[in-house]
């Protein structure tokens, strides 16, 4: 189970877009407004850095050690489960983002989202978090440490394989960039056209038709 808490991050990103627009307006006269207020690459990359998602997982990890106790045919396995909560941070690697602005054409190349960090919350663990199989060998303190490491590994594995969550993180970056360019267009009275290009993990242009390029017209309000 997971829950994405992205509202605070998104609000912060929108605030940054608003501040950038105010700065650009304050530094520009009417004569050079259109020049100074065009989409800025560094500002767009700064927005990508803010477009991260923090996801809260509540899950159960399985731990099993075969032939952990006893001898010969009396050997017993250690078998138990650990219930835990953890936080996963997902976003776009800005170093892989490519942005070009040519007049009113903006081309943005986005890599897939990736997992930045995973952390099991130690405070979510207690004696009640461990569910021991009735036929399991006795569980010791070091087994709980190993189980914690296993929970960490499974958390990372679950997050990295969650394609829906990764797609949502990429979409969040795309939405914030689109909003920024739309606001710039409204401010200077221009209609910018965004072309999105998506990369796969190997830095290659994504092969699927829907993910190669997607021209989007950003209308002027």
Taking only the tens place, the pLDDT of each residue in 68-102 is: 555 555 667 777 788 888 899 999 999 999 999 99
Q: How many folded domains does the chain comprise?
A: 1
Nearest Cα residue to 149 out of 84, 69, 58: 84
Residue 17 has pLDDT above 80, yes or no: no
Rounded to whole angstroms, the Cα distance separating 153 from 155 reads 5
Which residue's structure tokens are 């608003």?
18
Averaged pLDDT, 46-73: 77
Measured on CA atoms in the order 103, 105, 106, 109, is the torsion positive or negative? negative
Averaged pLDDT, 142-169: 86
Rounded to whole angstroms, the Cα distance separating 17 from 176 reads 9
Give the model's pLDDT for residue 167.
92
SS3 31: coil
Its pTM stands at 0.70
Band of residue 5 on the pLDDT scale cut at 50, 70, 90: low
Give the model's pLDDT for residue 205.
60
In sequence order, the β-bridge partners of residue 70 are none
Domain that holds residue 199: 2-217
């Amino acid at each position: 189970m997971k829950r994405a808490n992205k509202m605070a991050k998104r609000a912060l990103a929108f605030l940054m877009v608003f501040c950038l627009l105010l700065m650009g307006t304050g530094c520009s006269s009417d004569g050079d407004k259109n020049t100074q207020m065009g989409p800025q690459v560094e500002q767009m990359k700064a927005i990508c850095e803010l477009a991260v998602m923090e996801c809260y997982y509540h899950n159960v990890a399985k731990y099993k050690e075969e032939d952990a106790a006893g001898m010969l045919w009396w050997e017993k396995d250690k078998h138990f489960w650990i219930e835990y909560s953890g936080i996963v941070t997902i976003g776009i690697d800005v170093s892989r983002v490519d942005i070009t602005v040519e007049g009113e054409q903006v081309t943005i190349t986005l890599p897939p989202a990736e997992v930045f960090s995973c952390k099991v919350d130690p405070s979510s663990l207690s004696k009640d978090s461990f569910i021991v199989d009735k036929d399991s060998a006795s569980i010791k303190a070091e087994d709980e440490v190993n189980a914690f490491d296993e929970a960490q590994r499974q958390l990372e594995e679950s997050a990295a394989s969650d394609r829906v969550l990764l797609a949502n993180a990429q979409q969040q970056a795309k939405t914030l960039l689109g909003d920024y360019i739309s606001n710039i267009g409204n401010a200077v009275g221009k209609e910018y056209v965004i072309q999105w290009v998506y990369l796969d993990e190997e830095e290659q242009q994504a092969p699927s038709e829907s993910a190669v390029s997607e021209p989007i017209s950003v209308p002027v309000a």
